[in-house]
Chains A and B, each alone.
Chain A
Amino acid sequence: MENPLYLSSSPHIHSGETTDKVMRLVIYALLPATALSIYFFGLPALSVLLICTLGCMAFEALSCKLMKQPLTLVDGSAALTGILLALNLPPSTPWWMSLLGAAIAILIGKQIYGGLGYNPFNPALVARVVLLISFPVQMTSWTAPAPIGSGLDAVTAATPLGEMKTAVMLTGKLPEMATSGFGNYFLGNMAGSLGEVSALVLLLGGFFLLFKKVISWHIPISFIGTVLIIGGIFWLLDPSKYPNPLFHLITGGLILGAFFMATDMVTSPATDKGMLIFGCGCGLLTVLIRLFGGYPEGVSFAILLMNACTPLIDRYTRPKIYGQVEQKA
């Protein structure tokens, strides 16, 4: 034996699970929705996606260099943040806003806390909300989908949730689009941010993550379930004023948020019970903001508010350990 032997304490084998594998799987799960957004919104969507993703990676590399830390691009988390940010922006977002969003997500949302694993808030949502508050006009001007090859021009349109909010504020009644025939939104035929457009492909990606055990069912199911139940209660109280819960489900960013944003491991509770509380909180806040808040969409705010509660939830949901039983006399 010429080479020295390794000495270490057990265990001596590893599952092969790695952080970059986790990130890669989430990126794969988002690919169908990403592709569909390019199909619906064309080149503008592609440019938002590219600027956000490459921007996030560039700012990540820059901060590593400035802080003299090893380059962390390989873990895939910066690219994932970029894709998620893009999916949360309108297709008409100007290039400089996309870039600014990437800078906010990586520098203020993530690296300022110490990088991956230390950020209290979902970086992509921090960026989206900063942009939304700073540039309300650009962040709420939407275009109707003009699928590639359809010959349609991109025309300004309102999102279903926006249209509903305006109508309810003006007339106190739901518009017709929110009461019937909203099923085709399920396939993505509506105005919205890149990632809001198709509930169907997002669900496919979400199920892929569940199947691969990257995420557990607790957050998406409790989040969506709460929206359906609370939304349903209001609908039963006054169906002329409050929309069908299914309208809540397939419009806006609920599915994107429940499967891909709220499940961000860093910023959500770590125990099953904690995740259920977190998901219910997200769902409740989403419905309240949508129905009674100033903004038409509440998913981002709901998740960020619950991110802030995560340490508290973790503290009060410690699992009961083995052996905490009555001692047998």
Chain B
Amino acid sequence: MKLKSFSGGLHPPDSKEYSAHKPIERCPLPEELIIPAAQHIGAPADICVAVGDQVKKGQVVANAKGFVSVPIHASTSGEVIAVEPRLHPMGRELPAVVIKPDGLDQWQESLRQNDPEQFDVEGLKNLIRDAGIVGMGGATFPAHVKLSPPKEKTIDTLILNGVECEPFLTADHRLMLEESERIIDGINILRKVLGIDKAIIGIEVNKPDAIEKLTSDCAPHNIQVQPLKVRYPQGAEKQLINACTGRQVPSGGLPMDCGVVVQNVGTAAAISDAVRLGRPLVERVATITGPGIVEPKNLRITIGTPLQYLVDQCGGLNGEPAKIIMGGPMMGQTQLSLDVPAIRGTSGVLLFRDEDLPKKPAGPCIRCGRCIGVCPIHLQPTTIAAYARLEMIDEAENYNALDCIECGCCTYICPATLPLVQSIRHAKGGIMAKRRKI
């Protein structure tokens, strides 16, 4: 049988063998937790605690500001020892609440266990928003916003993203293997919120154990497990929708424009906790890995734990680190230091040594066309990049630069080692700046 997939893309070496077989371990609490007010796409939350305050685990420390925003919670009990700008994974100092754990890890008393059956759609959405649930694949888009499509959009399919197509990352894989009941419970809640029946979990066939486990566990729930061909970037929303349903999200549109809502499997698990246990999003599973780590692991981390502490839990550094990446090697962000905290969108921490980094200088484009072949949007990356280098922003726009999902396949494959996606990002910035001016 031909496996479902999308057109374009490529298959970089998985490098998942570092951590795929390691069960999730709970990472102990560090000396201090750094909890930034900005951990999601949208307006940063408003900090509502002061230095000296005693906080409980799950207590709101920053309130949501507007609809596309979520509250931020204390991820353990303890004392607020600072409210100040701290180095953020985004690369600059941003407001954060610093908590010194008291070691008791006590939940706030007012948090209640709920029965999802007793809530209506709005009630469930409020629970999800108040728990600070965001897309946990790394995009951190507030979940309740995706679950509130305008009336004129008909949603008929819920897709769960269990693809984890980024090399090295295995957190979702382990979650699917070890905690399928949380994921399935979250899917049932999501279906109730959306008022639909159809749910598909997309998983690539390089995780046969997860496919087998979920297929048997999902059988009584009418949830379809869809095995997919191994192909990056299948975990990108648009590609996953295409692979699972054959539909395409219209250019410039959202998944809801083709009747689909996509949520990460980790997000589904967090939604289950939020509704059934009343517990906000204060921890997540992340893969700490790479050749620069002595013993790669999948850790259940408390939000706000500094990366240095996570590295220490994994046997420390293997050699001198040259690049610290939050997320995967294809789309992750490089970090200024190991002092930054892991946040809600931290799916992994990847350490490379100097010898692990590609360093060939860029040469001239030989028009081999490989970037066109691998582009999952079917753009002409080398053409857009050439326009971008010449600051010909209108031409780049005309070649659909804004449709680029920045997956990095073009740069990865380029034999001239040209920074193609980087140039396209530059063009996208220019196009957006021009549109703001008009």
Q: A-side interface residues toward B, CB under 8 Å?
A: 1-3, 5-19, 21-22, 75, 114-118, 265-266, 268, 270-271, 318-329
Contact A322 B376 (CB under 8 A): yes
Number of interface residues of B (CB under 8 A): 70
Contact A328 B259 (CB under 8 A): yes
Contact A116 B323 (CB under 8 A): no
Contact partner of B372 (CB less than 8 A), chosen from A5, A10, A22, A319, is A319
What would be 20 A-B contacts, judged by CB atoms less than 8 Å apart?
A: A1-B320, A5-B322, A5-B324, A6-B323, A8-B334, A9-B421, A10-B406, A11-B421, A13-B329, A15-B10, A117-B363, A117-B367, A270-B369, A271-B369, A322-B377, A322-B403, A323-B248, A323-B249, A326-B250, A328-B259
Contacts A12-B350, A323-B253, A328-B258 aside, 16 further interface pairs with beta carbons under 8 A come to A5-B321, A9-B421, A10-B333, A11-B330, A11-B331, A13-B330, A13-B412, A14-B411, A17-B413, A18-B416, A19-B416, A75-B363, A116-B366, A117-B363, A270-B382, A321-B378
Q: CA–CA, A12 to B323, complex, Å?
A: 9
Question: Which of B28-36, B41-49, B279-287, B352-360 participates in binding chain A?
Answer: B352-360
B251 at the interface (CB under 8 A from A): yes
Q: How far is the CB of A326 from chain B (nearest CB, A)?
A: 8
Contact A5 B379 (CB under 8 A): no
Q: B-side interface residues toward A, CB under 8 Å?
A: 8, 10, 12, 91, 152, 167, 238, 242, 248-253, 257-259, 320-325, 327, 329-338, 350, 352, 354, 357-358, 360, 363-370, 372, 376-380, 382, 399-400, 403, 406, 408, 411-417, 421-422, 425
Contact B403 A19 (CB under 8 A): no
Q: How far is the CB of B354 from chain A (nearest CB, A)?
A: 8
Q: Which residue of A lies closest to B256 (CB)?
A: A328
Q: CA–CA, A261 to B41, complex, Å?
A: 51
Q: CA–CA, A7 to B87, complex, Å?
A: 15
Q: CA–CA, A328 to B254, complex, Å?
A: 11
Q: CA–CA, A78 to B414, complex, Å?
A: 20
Contact A116 B363 (CB under 8 A): yes
Contact B366 A117 (CB under 8 A): yes
Inter-chain contacts of A326 with B (CB < 8 A): 250
Q: How far is the CB of B87 from chain A (nearest CB, A)?
A: 13
Contact partner of A318 (CB less than 8 A), chosen from B257, B258, B380, B416, is B380
Q: CA–CA, A16 to B360, complex, Å?
A: 9
Closest 5 CB pairs of A and B: A11-B408, A117-B364, A323-B251, A14-B358, A270-B369
Contact A11 B329 (CB under 8 A): yes
Q: CA–CA, A11 to B376, complex, Å?
A: 15
Inter-chain contacts of B369 with A (CB < 8 A): 265, 270-271
Q: How far is the CB of B98 from chain A (nearest CB, A)?
A: 22
Contact A7 B334 (CB under 8 A): yes
Inter-chain contacts of A114 with B (CB < 8 A): 364
Contact B358 A9 (CB under 8 A): no
Known A-B contacts A15-B413, A19-B366, A115-B364; the reply to A6 vs B322 at CB < 8 A is yes
Inter-chain contacts of B321 with A (CB < 8 A): 1, 5
Q: CA–CA, A157 to B360, complex, Å?
A: 50
Contact A322 B411 (CB under 8 A): no
Q: Which residue of A lies closest to B238 (CB)?
A: A322
Q: Which residue of A lies closest to B290 (CB)?
A: A12
Known A-B contacts A22-B366, A116-B363, A321-B403; the reply to A13 vs B358 at CB < 8 A is yes
Q: How far is the CB of A28 from chain B (nearest CB, A)?
A: 16
Q: How far is the CB of B409 from chain A (nearest CB, A)?
A: 8
Contact A5 B334 (CB under 8 A): yes
Q: CA–CA, A174 to B377, complex, Å?
A: 53
Q: Which residue of A lies closest to B369 (CB)?
A: A270
Known A-B contacts A323-B249, A325-B250, A327-B250; the reply to A14 vs B412 at CB < 8 A is yes
Q: Which residue of A lies closest to B331 (CB)?
A: A10
Inter-chain contacts of A10 with B (CB < 8 A): 325, 327, 329-333, 406, 408, 421
Contact A18 B403 (CB under 8 A): no
Inter-chain contacts of A118 with B (CB < 8 A): 364
Known A-B contacts A266-B367, A319-B372, A321-B400; the reply to A15 vs B412 at CB < 8 A is yes
Q: Which residue of A lies closest to B411 (CB)?
A: A11
Known A-B contacts A5-B323, A10-B332; the reply to A17 vs B370 at CB < 8 A is yes
Contact A321 B322 (CB under 8 A): no
Q: CA–CA, A12 to B411, complex, Å?
A: 9
Contact partner of A321 (CB less than 8 A), chosen from B253, B379, B411, B415, is B379
Q: Which residue of B lies closest to A328 (CB)?
A: B258
Q: CA–CA, A268 to B367, complex, Å?
A: 8
Q: How far is the CB of A216 from chain B (nearest CB, A)?
A: 8
Contact A3 B366 (CB under 8 A): no
Contact A117 B358 (CB under 8 A): no
Q: Which residue of A lies closest to B335 (CB)?
A: A5
Contact partner of A265 (CB less than 8 A), chosen from B336, B354, B367, is B367
Inter-chain contacts of A5 with B (CB < 8 A): 321-324, 334-337
Contact partner of B412 (CB less than 8 A), chosen from A3, A8, A11, A325, is A11
Known A-B contacts A321-B400, A322-B376, A323-B238; the reply to A13 vs B367 at CB < 8 A is no
Q: CA–CA, A130 to B257, complex, Å?
A: 58
Q: CA–CA, A72 to B216, complex, Å?
A: 59
Q: CA–CA, A22 to B10, complex, Å?
A: 18
Inter-chain contacts of B8 with A (CB < 8 A): 322
Contact B366 A265 (CB under 8 A): yes
Q: CA–CA, A270 to B403, complex, Å?
A: 20
Contact A12 B238 (CB under 8 A): no
Inter-chain contacts of A6 with B (CB < 8 A): 322-323, 334, 357
